[in-house]
Chains A and B, each alone.
Chain A
Amino acid sequence: MSTLTALARARAAHAGRAVPITAVRHVHLSDEPLVLIPLMQAGEAAAPLAVMAGTDRAAPQLLLVAQPRNRDQRFDFLTRFAEVLVPYIAARRQHTETVEPTKNHDEWERCTDAPQLILPNPAGVEALRLLGRSARFRTVDGPYPVDPRVPLLGRYLTWFADDRAPMPGSGVCLALTSALSQHWATGQSALEDQHLPALLSWIDPPEGMSGAEAALLAEDPDAVPPAGPTTDPAFDTGVLAPLVRAQEEARAAQDMRAVAKAEEELRVALAAQLEPTWQTVWRGIDVLRGLPAAASDKPRWQVDRGRFTDFMTGIEEGLPPQPKRPSAVAAARRLADLESARQSYDRSQAIDDPLVLARYRVGGEAFAGRITFVDAERQEIKGKRAWPRPLVVLHTQDEVILRPGVKLASPARVAQTVRLRAVRRGEAGGYEVELELQSGMGRGKTPEEGSVPLVGEERCYATFLAEQRGTRPELPETDKTPWTHGGPPWPHVARAEDQAEEWH
């Protein structure tokens, strides 16, 4: 945790209200997100109990499984879940735009929109991942045939929860608690921030209440049901277990009226558990929408749209479902992707957001201050040519621990690399930093208009903004995986073992 974030938490605790730690919103919000609140049965690996879903806050759909341990009911539930998700995704696949060819890529068609799932918390995303894993290897024939939409749903959920959700900067599958705590520091601990109603209470308390008071009230599971995917054990004991039993007994007695009655009661009980969370999630989305989107929001969402197009194309071309375990090459590639996404997400946030950049100032990786001297004429003779190498002196109150020779860049002009030449203690306190501009000044002998900072200008320079972007490690083609890494992976075949996978 950065000192700045720790300080923000201390300030929030003191004020009784959350404190912003970003100036802009760094997660994309779709115009029409699909909100999903999964509830899973306690003690089982992936037994769905219910899902509340929808793109319209006034009209949530409630899907439920009357007996989560019953295999047929579970697949029936997944089919109905697919009926919600598949059309939502198909609608975003319809329209495309042409992307101009580049050096490495031919011209291609990219979807103009991508789906966005919003879940209350990371545990909800994990529940989706498990549902996806349990459904994607199912087949329409074999020992336990399922509706063709079930394996498709499995692949979609896997893509959202396993492929994209962990990818830094991706917005197609958001956990609301993570998105909110990325933008606000509360006066409670990070552990307590995982509780959505409490977290939101700190950020947006009801009238006449402090965030701290509201969060305390929101923690009471009797007053505010937990945001899932696990239900309150007291609810399981007092409400759910008797209803499931009543429903089972009615079924055993083949009393269809009693079955319908029990199921209706179950529906009412689960709706009562889910509806408060449904409202909270939408309120959380409103709060996030209240922040202006960062400048990098569009390019980031464009990446998501591209990945979505790739994924859909893969399905249309008949690629097999995502493997249970990635091959060696795929895993290495994935790791490199995650690292470079992390780097580029951190970087773009720091460029867009002065509050994010401030964290690096405290850590000594950046400093900010006023330009006190500029020699724009300065040149360096290299070979037969003279290169512009303007000299700039910046006065900062930040403690500068960087060594001469370090390369830096400023969010005001990211493409311009400067070299730190010397650091001196300022006469009136602070530090005088002497910088040499090395690039980003055009091709001429003299710097382009506007490419050199002016005396009096406020600038911030940071080391990581000048770092070379990580290049992907060179990896062999998948079919040339060396034996040290298990050799080329076996092609996927729908195995009877997968179809017959027991699922109690």
Chain B
Amino acid sequence: MPMSPSVPQATASAPAPAVTAARLDALRGPVPPRSHDARTIAALTVNPGCSRRAVLDAAGVDKRKLAERIGFPARYGQSPFAITRGLAFEKQVKADGCTALLELLRGEPLHFDVPEHEYVDLGVEPTADSGTPVTVDRAGRYERTRRLFARVAAGEPLLADHPLLRLDVGGRTAYVEPDVVALSARPSGASESAPARLYVAEVKSFAVIDGQADPAKVGAAATQAAVYVLALRRLFAELDVDPRIVADDVILVCPKDFANQPSAHILDVRRQIAAVERQLARLPRIGALIADLDPTVDFDLAVDPPEAQGESGREHRSGVELGKSLTMIEARYAPECVTNCEMAFHCRAESRAAGGADALGRSVRDSLGGIQSIEDALAVADGSAGVGSEQHEAARLLRAAARAYDEALRVTPRVAEPEVDV
């Protein structure tokens, strides 16, 4: 079970934040932390119950490197063609102070009432490699963002490019970086007196063809945008401004059909906002999670430089030690993890080795009636094992399935008459 009732609640017996932070730093070892971004926060809504990922993320462990060190390198990465196209498209939309974006909002079919904006670039150009270590002064950039939005709240029409926002994730601060813009506009049909609202615009390079796009990509974009909306609302709340100034709708800018021509679409992300909010609130309080950890657990990925040339550096922890530490934090593996988490292949191997039904997918596990192990399910099905009363119904179905399957093998199917060769 991911969260047993015995896990102390944060309010009850969680250690002091400073203690937690120190323990998390110790878990990571003497390497710079990796922080949550919108993508990883969005991923939390996919598998919120996984303590292993929660601890690794909170400690800022480089999961990709960790996976490599324990022998399960994750195959991630984007094609250079996709990156080039994505950057070119974003540049096109944002050229000349986002002229193209503003035109899209004012034109068909949105007809937003958008005043003239002052364009302010708060950040640096995004680089091709999303895994670039953060070297810029984030606190400073956040402060600039905050000051800018204070002006926006006072009614100045400002278009903020590359703002840096903050979000509390599992008790630690994460920075999210809308590579996008927030601008104030009034939807068409809204009365003159209606206050202009602030919209998050998300630029994505997947195509919308005849008004339809890949639902998986739209879903991911919506969840990411919801993270930005949430972070922006928290910022306004801090500024003592009604957070509802940020609209529930986000603007998704995508290429139209087969061209590079951008088109704007309104996405209602209320559901995603609620999902992200719920998961953030539900995140097992990190303090409580790590308080119970064995003191020997750590994920120190540091490598000391070699003493002599030609020698390899000395690793603080061997792959075996790292693997052992991992097994001491419970994971909740599902096949979908492959798309969201760098540790997925390790967890899959672990789940398979343990004969866990999780490795077969959620729908299979549910159909096996909550029996955790494949061996157990098979033993129940063939009648060689009994079950507790709570699994009685599952056992009945499994036995019925085994009997129906084995009986059906003895029945002759109806086959097509053989073709007569001419």
Q: Which residues of B contact A11 (CB under 8 A)?
A: 378
Q: Which residues of A contact B408 (CB under 8 A)?
A: 23, 354-355, 357-358
Nearest opposing residue in chain B for A398, CB measure: B400
Q: In the complex, are the beta carbons of B416 and A298 less than 8 A apart?
A: yes
Q: Per-position contact with B for A4-46: 1 when CB-CB < 8 Å, else 0?
A: 1111111101100000000110000000000000000111111
In the assembled complex, A134 has its CB within 8 A of some CB on chain B = yes
In the assembled complex, A1 has its CB within 8 A of some CB on chain B = yes
In the assembled complex, B35 has its CB within 8 A of some CB on chain A = no
Q: Given A43-B86, A44-B85, A189-B335: A7 and B79 within 8 A (CB)?
A: no
Q: How far is the CB of B86 from chain A (nearest CB, A)?
A: 7
Q: In the complex, are the beta carbons of B75 and A221 less than 8 A apart?
A: yes
In the assembled complex, A297 has its CB within 8 A of some CB on chain B = yes
Q: In the complex, are the beta carbons of B396 and A399 less than 8 A apart?
A: yes
Q: In the complex, are the beta carbons of B81 and A42 less than 8 A apart?
A: yes
Q: In the complex, are the beta carbons of B405 and A358 less than 8 A apart?
A: yes
Partner of B210, one of A13, A324, A368, A398: A324
Among the 9-residue stretches A88-96, A287-295, A441-449, A487-495, the one with 4 or more Cβ atoms under 8 Å from chain B is: A287-295
Partner of B257, one of A3, A325, A501: A501
Q: Which of A132-181 contact B (CB under 8 A)?
A: 133-134
Q: How far apart sit A309 and B221, CA to CA, in the bound complex (Å)?
A: 43
Q: Per-position contact with B for A116-137: 1 when CB-CB < 8 Å, else 0?
A: 0000000000000010011000
In the assembled complex, B397 has its CB within 8 A of some CB on chain A = yes
In the assembled complex, A456 has its CB within 8 A of some CB on chain B = no
Among the 9-residue stretches A106-114, A234-242, A251-259, A381-389, the one with 4 or more Cβ atoms under 8 Å from chain B is: A234-242
Nearest opposing residue in chain B for A222, CB measure: B75
Among B80, B81, B207, B367, chain A packs the most CB atoms within 10 A around the CB of: B81
Q: How far is the CB of B345 from chain A (nearest CB, A)?
A: 9
Among the 9-residue stretches B49-57, B97-105, B177-185, B357-365, the one with 4 or more Cβ atoms under 8 Å from chain A is: B357-365
Q: In the complex, are the beta carbons of B416 and A355 less than 8 A apart?
A: no
Q: Which of A171-217 contact B (CB under 8 A)?
A: 187-192, 212
Among the 9-residue stretches B58-66, B132-140, B258-266, the one with 4 or more Cβ atoms under 8 Å from chain A is: B258-266
Q: Which residues of B contact A354 (CB under 8 A)?
A: 408-409, 411-413
Nearest opposing residue in chain A for B403, CB measure: A397
Q: How far apart sit A187 and B355, CA to CA, in the bound complex (Å)?
A: 11
Partner of A362, one of B77, B82, B366, B397: B397
Q: Given A10-B378, A294-B413: A43 and B367 within 8 A (CB)?
A: no
Q: In the complex, are the beta carbons of B404 and A361 less than 8 A apart?
A: yes
Nearest opposing residue in chain A for B356, CB measure: A13
Q: How far is the CB of A291 from chain B (nearest CB, A)?
A: 9
Q: In the complex, are the beta carbons of A43 and B84 less than 8 A apart?
A: yes
Nearest opposing residue in chain B for A324, CB measure: B210
In the assembled complex, B398 has its CB within 8 A of some CB on chain A = yes
Q: How far apart sit A7 and B416, CA to CA, in the bound complex (Å)?
A: 28
Q: Which residues of A contact B403 (CB under 8 A)?
A: 397
In the assembled complex, B402 has its CB within 8 A of some CB on chain A = yes
Q: How far apart sit A23 and B359, CA to CA, in the bound complex (Å)?
A: 26
In the assembled complex, A504 has its CB within 8 A of some CB on chain B = yes
Nearest opposing residue in chain B for A133, CB measure: B209
Q: How far apart sit A22 and B18, CA to CA, in the bound complex (Å)?
A: 60
Nearest opposing residue in chain A for B415, CB measure: A292
Among B352, B398, B416, chain A packs the most CB atoms within 10 A around the CB of: B416
Q: How far apart sit A9 and B205, CA to CA, in the bound complex (Å)?
A: 38
Q: Which of B339-383 contact A (CB under 8 A)?
A: 352, 355, 357, 359-361, 363-364, 366-369, 374-375, 377-378, 381
In the assembled complex, A247 has its CB within 8 A of some CB on chain B = no
Q: How far is the CB of B130 from chain A (nearest CB, A)?
A: 13
Q: Which of B383-422 contact A (CB under 8 A)?
A: 396-398, 400-405, 407-409, 411-417
Q: How far apart sit A43 and B90, CA to CA, in the bound complex (Å)?
A: 13
Q: How far apart sit A203 and B405, CA to CA, in the bound complex (Å)?
A: 18
Among B75, B211, B338, chain A packs the most CB atoms within 10 A around the CB of: B75
Among B83, B255, B403, B413, chain A packs the most CB atoms within 10 A around the CB of: B413
Q: How far apart sit A503 and B257, CA to CA, in the bound complex (Å)?
A: 8
In the assembled complex, A351 has its CB within 8 A of some CB on chain B = yes
Q: In the complex, are the beta carbons of B81 and A241 less than 8 A apart?
A: yes
Q: How far is the CB of A497 from chain B (nearest CB, A)?
A: 11
Q: How far apart sit A45 and B404, CA to CA, in the bound complex (Å)?
A: 47
In the assembled complex, A2 has its CB within 8 A of some CB on chain B = yes
Nearest opposing residue in chain A for B76, CB measure: A233
Q: Which residues of B contact A353 (CB under 8 A)?
A: 413-414
Q: Which residues of B contact A357 (CB under 8 A)?
A: 408
Among A24, A134, A192, A354, chain B packs the most CB atoms within 10 A around the CB of: A354
Q: How far apart sit A339 and B377, CA to CA, in the bound complex (Å)?
A: 35
Q: How far apart sit A41 and B255, CA to CA, in the bound complex (Å)?
A: 16
In the assembled complex, A304 has its CB within 8 A of some CB on chain B = no
Nearest opposing residue in chain A for B334, CB measure: A189
Q: In the complex, are the beta carbons of B210 and A133 less than 8 A apart?
A: yes
Partner of A233, one of B78, B261, B396: B78
Q: How far apart sit A236 and B75, CA to CA, in the bound complex (Å)?
A: 13
In the assembled complex, A434 has its CB within 8 A of some CB on chain B = no
Nearest opposing residue in chain B for A24, CB measure: B413
Q: How far apart sit A236 and B208, CA to CA, in the bound complex (Å)?
A: 24
Q: Given A241-B80, A368-B407: A13 and B338 within 8 A (CB)?
A: no
Q: Given A4-B401, A188-B359, A190-B361: A358 and B407 within 8 A (CB)?
A: yes
Q: In the complex, are the beta carbons of A294 and B415 less than 8 A apart?
A: yes
Name 24 A/B residue pairs within 8 A (Cβ), A-sorted.
A1-B363, A1-B366, A2-B367, A3-B368, A3-B400, A4-B405, A6-B364, A7-B368, A10-B357, A13-B352, A14-B374, A42-B78, A188-B335, A189-B364, A190-B363, A191-B335, A233-B79, A324-B210, A353-B413, A355-B405, A358-B408, A361-B400, A398-B404, A501-B258
Known A362-B401, A503-B259; 6 more pairs at CB < 8 Å: A5-B367, A10-B374, A45-B255, A236-B79, A295-B414, A295-B417
10 residue pairs, one from A and one from B, having the closest CB atoms: A43-B82, A502-B259, A45-B207, A6-B367, A42-B79, A189-B361, A189-B335, A354-B411, A43-B85, A236-B79
